[in-house]
Chains A and B, each alone.
Chain A
Amino acid sequence: MALKDIDLEIQQGEFVSIIGHNGSGKSTLAKLFNALLLPTRGDVIVGGKNTKDGDKLWAIRQQVGMVFQNPDNQIVATTVEEDVAFGPENLGLSPDEIGRRVDEALALVGMEEHRHRATHLLSGGQKQRVAIAGVIAMRPSCIILDEPTSMLDPVGRREVLETVQRLNRQEGITVVLVTHFMEEAALAERVLVMADGGLALSGPPAEIFSEGEQMRQLRLDVPQIVQLAWELRRSGIPVPREIFSINELVDYLCQYA
């Protein structure tokens, strides 16, 4: 049994991250969101549509796009713009409309200047952004990213995370980020913690990461910056619990000094 008795609602426009030990069911849950998998028992409803309803399958997949871990497994075409156009072409749209969507999607992921480049020459972070653009070109309301940065170097990671945050903040796209990196999970408004196929915890990062001991019991950890903030608090510097990023902590400490 990969998942058991999960009750969960994700609102339009939310940024949710999912963390959990290897084998906790994170990826299984993510794949249920766009009907790549169907529930054995229970229902997944996407914008009022049940994923078990075969007639709604394509509408659901268009609405909820997915980006996977390995950048090399997701590129289907030889140039960037052809790759991004693949989805809209399959929707049977007019060439003008396809062009418009490709322009828009490439701009959103910051890859316009690479549109004519060969996909095999891109870096890992660029490939992941092209994969995201391919999803965006379908005009989804939600994007699910299943460990999109685990094969990337630090710059690639930053590029992908900035893109994801921009899509959520500027475009109002719902983001579900599955990750093993606690600093990434802390970027979300809400963190879901999976353990042994169930939902163990759910709440804002400040709440989740204040449970250091419980997190370790769940084979997880707390971002280093949060650990440090916690240690400083214990030593008498009242760092607010909402601080998760290096910049925030630097600003706070300089002001405190």
Chain B
Amino acid sequence: MFKSFDDIEREIDETFEELMSSRPMWDSSTGRLEPLTQVKESLDKIVVTMDLPLVRKEDIHLTIEEKNLNLEAPLVRCVRYERWGTHSDCEFSSFYKIVNLPTRVNPDEAKAKFLNGVLSVELPKTVKGKKINVE
């Protein structure tokens, strides 16, 4: 049986996520950290949450495309790691993350809230299920 393009696209996204999860969650060359992120999908929406300690609500820069949610947020102060591994000292100043969404969403109806350092973004799906009458 042939797979639909959506299934193939989803499998590519999942493989990409798998690869991304096994790499370091930081980049010392840019001073960026990757936040812990959870993506939950329900019938009509996708909810993305991110743990953003040391971030102020007014500094969060969120942009959305049809299948990506992009976050940039500076930390209120730099986080230093001293004597770790072969780095004598490294310093991070922001969170950065591109979240690949499992399906297309309507950017105009997106809602976000930030409470106790956790960002929650609700994204209504573009294609909602078609109602089937039950006889």
A and B: interacting chains:
no
